[in-house]
Amino acid sequence: MIRGVDVLFLGTFAEGELGTFVFTEGRCFMAFDYDVIIIGSGPAGFSCAIQSSKFGKKVLIVEANPENLGGSWINTGTVPSKSLREAAKLIHKFHTQFADQEKMKPYQRFKMDDILRYKRSILSEKNRKVKSDLIKHNIETARGHGRLVDGHTVEVTLQGGQSVTYTAGFVMISTGSRPGKPEQFEIDHEVVVDYRSILELTHIPRRLVIVGGGVIALEFATIFSALGTRITILSAEKGFLPFLDDEIAAELRRILRKKTIQLTTECTIEKVEKNDFRTSMEVFYRTAAEPDRLQVVETDHVLHVGHKVPNSEGLGLAEIGVVLSERKTIEVDEGFRTAVPSVFAAGDVIGFPSQASASFVQGRIAACKMFDMGEDEIAANVPYGIYSIPEIAGIGLTEADAERQGLIYKVGKISYSNLTQADIGHVDDGMLKMIFDADSLRILGVHILGEQASDLIHLGQCVMQHGGTIEYFLKNVLNYPSYGEAYRMAAFDGLSE
């Protein structure tokens, strides 16, 4: 007997799924083990779980990693790469701020063991905090590989091989992504690495060739450059980070040249081979400018940065009617619901923008939609942040966007070299640029390259989201000295045009 239950019977949903129904207190509903089962504990899954728990729902997270929660967010992606960046930034600041009497490169003075120890301590603490959060919110976990049997049933294959089946009113898929493999060469994760295995290198390389472009390539290029590594980037794309504002892109190219980072675009990789005689690796490539000339660059390590592959296989999605794109990302609507009404998806597995920041918001909104708790949605303007050294961030229209749309606009900008805070920190590189409507002064876009860019962008984001103008920065007091002062000085610059 089930306490409080008048009638218990079997029936089918409209989707044709067999289930147990409960009739009690004049109401009929299906009896599930959980309100929501979440497959994957990355940022989308984690935020969905926490929000669902706050709604008073019973939550189960299915995680394939037998040791750690958090997916690539904590273990192989966002947190470890940013930890490495922070260590490299500290080393670079020490190396440049204080004269090195011995003229030693950072990789000669500092050991990778120290950096890895720094990274591991952060990952350990972050894992502890995630587990603590789940326990505090009474969220249960099952370690194993999850697969959907239908829109309400998940079969979990545990580490020992046995299977357990769980049911829920809703299922959230947040299985993330993994690095794509190159066609021209093999990744051995020792000499030729991807953006996960490079985080486990046991030494700081003297030379590194990065095959591929985009945000991840730039981040690792500047991180290892800060450690004294000689960097070459070979990108197949015609333009490097084409979404950047043109002036920001020009300033970035200047900084890369200053760091002696070699950037070659429109490359085709022919092969990657080991040269035993010279105890090095060789990368052979051709460029669009000289297609008949086979060029070669020597290196100690090769980092392949390709596209992300969504982890959408082996989940039984097609069998239950979940629609996938040509790139195998899961198709969802604006509320992150799939073609199966009870199944939601968020994070890298649905594709663009594939950012941890966006995934956190997606997971929370999916929980709101599941349980009909508000009509939250992501704002139209989503900022981006590139954690290179220095950082890059932006939101809204670039100047080229404003021109294409035929807008009458003005530009206000300021170099970091004019900021007292930059002088104090011996920071030479950086700029902040605002694009605003010439008549109403409403801010249309903000673009920043420099120290604390990923934090500074949120001030511009808040003003934009509330329809604010550049007068905000003229009428309000901003701390001095600070990098935030750049907004005020850029506003003055824009009005003085």
Decide: helix, strand or coil at residue 134.
Answer: helix
* pLDDT at 134 (0 to 100): 94
Look at 366 and 5; give whichever has higher pLDDT: 366
* pLDDT at 98 (0 to 100): 67
Please give the radius of gyration of the chain, using alpha carbons only, rounded to the nearest integer. 26
Contact of 381 with 464, CB cutoff 8 Å? yes
- Paired tokens of 451: 């120290």
Query: Average pLDDT of 156-169?
Result: 92
Contact of 325 with 242, CB cutoff 8 Å? no
Alpha carbon separation from 287 to 85, 152, 250 (Å, rounded): 30, 52, 21
Angle (deg, nearest 10), helices 78-97 and 112-136: 140
Largest CA distance in the chain: 84
Look at 408 and 196; give whichever has higher pLDDT: 408
Whether the per-residue pLDDT at 263 is higher than 50: the answer is yes
Range with lowest mean pLDDT among 78-92, 126-140, 285-299, 461-475: 78-92
Percent of the chain whose pLDDT exceeds 70: 91
Query: Average pLDDT of 60-77?
Result: 88
Range with lowest mean pLDDT among 18-27, 52-61, 333-342, 366-375: 18-27
Burial class (CB in 10 A: 0-12, 13-18, 19+), 346: buried
Cβ of 92: how many Cβ atoms within 10 Å? 19
- For the chain, the average pLDDT equals 89
Cβ of 44: how many Cβ atoms within 10 Å? 35
Cβ of 198: how many Cβ atoms within 10 Å? 23
- Taking 3-state DSSP, the helix, strand and coil percentages for the chain, each rounded to the nearest 5, stand at 30, 30, 40
* pLDDT at 497 (0 to 100): 67
Range with lowest mean pLDDT among 9-23, 42-56, 133-147, 341-355: 9-23
Q: Which of 133, 172, 134, 148 is CA-nearest to residue 371?
A: 172
330 secondary structure, DSSP code: B
Runs of H (alpha helix) within 185-315: 214-226, 246-258
* Dist. CA 100–CA 433, nearest whole Å: 35
pLDDT tens digits along 103-137: 666 656 677 778 888 888 888 899 999 999 999 99
- Paired tokens of 359: 């995934």
Alpha carbon separation from 437 to 129, 393, 423, 449 (Å, rounded): 44, 21, 31, 22
Contact of 399 with 478, CB cutoff 8 Å? no
* pLDDT at 106 (0 to 100): 62
Whether the per-residue pLDDT at 167 is higher than 90: the answer is yes
Whether the per-residue pLDDT at 364 is higher than 90: the answer is yes
* pLDDT at 324 (0 to 100): 96
